[in-house]
Amino acid sequence: MPMPLSDSDKALLLDIFGTTRTITISGFKTGAVADLRTFVTDIEGIMDGSQASSDFVSSWTNVTKKVLIKEFSHDKLAADETKLSYTLTLIEGTVI
């Protein structure tokens, strides 16, 4: 029987929605400053609170998954105005 503060192997878990998977993509985007701004605003525009699932095709397994954006961060490199580093975290799932 699970007890508060007991070992985790006695924890109650409910698998109502299945397991979750996150996919993290990190990289650099290069281009004109206006193109980099468009890249950022386009992704932030998708994250407006009314997302629809998007298709993500893995370059490793070639499998298509339905995903939503969980997090997006970016940083313009001070030494190079034409280069932006970014990290995009996706969560697998479908909006119902």
Instruction: Please give the model's pTM, rounded to 2 decimal places.
Output: 0.74
Q: Using one digit for the tens of pLDDT, what is the confidence trace for 36-82?
A: 999 999 999 888 777 888 899 988 899 999 999 999 999 988 889 89
Kindly write down the DSSP assignment for every residue of 35-74, as one continuous string.
HHHHHHHHHHHHTSS----EEEE-TTT--EEEEEEEEEEE
Q: What DSSP state is assigned to residue 33?
A: H
Place of tokens 């697998």: 92
